[in-house]
Structure 1
């Protein structure tokens, strides 16, 4: 049986010889299928209408290896977690169950990102050692959702999230949100508020344009907006959403009086031990999500920049 391994994970495991700029703290794996996903999400390289390479997800290459070889090499990576990504195809669930059984002897916590499944499937995933579920909402706008994810329904994703919280507990459903798909800042904040109100968490991604996808000509979000959205997500998580100042549908600023903003606000936020190095950006550029804690001076400079723009 084959399983895909993200390029950075494969380097950390010794399956590929190359230099690591930031070591992944989670092993990122993906189910193998020799064709495209049965779904047609507009931004995804795996979408059924995509002309992008089969071994791509976001800007990362995912080479395939024999499962036995992967299981044997995983301890070399000194990972704190396994994260199994899935695409939809006939027999996908059976493959997931088989993989989880193969990973159990490693005694690592496991996250699975999967499209909506019934409660009994979630309960089986839990019995097989899964403790977090990633929810591919992706589009933080009901207005745009159907056009960008035509095979899914907005309410279906939220119902699925509630099932996960019910089975796994609060904070164990991690909703993936991609910034830069045409959504407004207000829609992002409303999505954050809905997620945290039902006991879910939110993990942010920056849109990455990929040649061969329907959105190949869409530009990624600028870094300034992304930083503001990261701060807004953290404020909503902490129950401080009223400190976000909206100017129409855009974030106009923040009332941060008496609030100590920690550096982790701008780092990768997801399941425990997740750092996703350079998933959305080229290594030569400042990352949207730092795979490590930025220096405290970075926070100070960011807040100074906000003030210089006459933002509170």
Structure 2
């Protein structure tokens, strides 16, 4: 089978998207940070030409959002693609303020294997600790155990919404998406068991129709 590189297809695990701020901090892209801000985390995004199969209403990578996937934006900033070799070289020559690497997964069946391979390379070839913002829909407990074994030390789970109804409206059946509230929390609980409470975090969004009481209760 031909490798992605021989076909000139830039996708993971041989390539990864990187936030513009990270690319500037590592010297891979020219630019200046506002008021001298620094980016302390190397933010990487798993990338495939076919993209993410989820359809979250507020996400720039949503399957049904118009445009070519390569041109879509994760969080409304540029995410250029780089070879992993260049990323690893840049990480090893990063400024002292760069303290961690975080890989963000997407909802794609190939993403588990690619993420493991990328995390494994980063663990073996760089000195920075590694976090993964996981995609629970395509994961189970064994995947979390494997991540722990290869040296990942922190896990993030993008719960995002404060109630099951809002989650379903914006990420599940309401947008013909694959995500399910119950499974996200099941994976969250397994993550806590495997990585420990200080090493697992949740992403939450305010202003999506929840009440203050609902958000505080969730937290």
Alignment partner of 1:19: what SS? coil
Q: Pairwise mapping of residues 47-86 of structure 1 onto structure 2 (< 5 A)?
A: 47-51=62-66, 54-78=71-95, 79-86=98-105
Structure 2 residue 153 is matched with structure 1 residue 131: yes
Structure 2 residue 129 is matched with structure 1 residue 114: no
Aligned residue pair count = 192
CA RMSD of aligned residues (A): 1.4
Deviation of 1:55 after TM superposition, in Å, equals 4.2
Give the equivalent residue in structure 2 for 1:15. Answer: 28
Separation in structure 2 between the aligned mates of residue 49 and residue 55 of structure 1, nearest angstrom: 11
Separation in structure 2 between the aligned mates of residue 55 and residue 66 of structure 1, nearest angstrom: 19
2:111 aligned residue (85, 88, 92): 92
1:161 aligned residue (171, 188, 192): 188
Give the equivalent residue in structure 2 for 1:3. Answer: 16
**Larger relative contact order (Cα-Cα within 8 Å, sequence gap ≥ 6):** 2
Give the equivalent residue in structure 1 for 2:121. Answer: 102
Deviation of 1:186 after TM superposition, in Å, equals 1.0
Separation in structure 1 between the aligned mates of residue 32 and residue 90 of structure 2, nearest angstrom: 17
Deviation of 1:80 after TM superposition, in Å, equals 0.6
Give the equivalent residue in structure 1 for 2:204. Answer: 177
Q: Which runs of 5+ in 2 are unaligned?
A: 1-13, 173-177
Alignment partner of 2:198: what SS? coil
Structure 2 residue 46 is matched with structure 1 residue 31: yes
Separation in structure 2 between the aligned mates of residue 16 and residue 75 of structure 1, nearest angstrom: 16
Separation in structure 2 between the aligned mates of residue 115 and residue 90 of structure 1, nearest angstrom: 10
| Contact kept in structure 2, 1:12 and 1:23, CA below 8 Å | yes
Structure 2 residue 160 is matched with structure 1 residue 143: no
| Contact kept in structure 1, 2:92 and 2:127, CA below 8 Å | no
| Contact kept in structure 2, 1:55 and 1:63, CA below 8 Å | no
Separation in structure 2 between the aligned mates of residue 36 and residue 184 of structure 1, nearest angstrom: 33
So what's the TM-score if we normalise by structure 2? 0.83
| Contact kept in structure 2, 1:9 and 1:77, CA below 8 Å | no
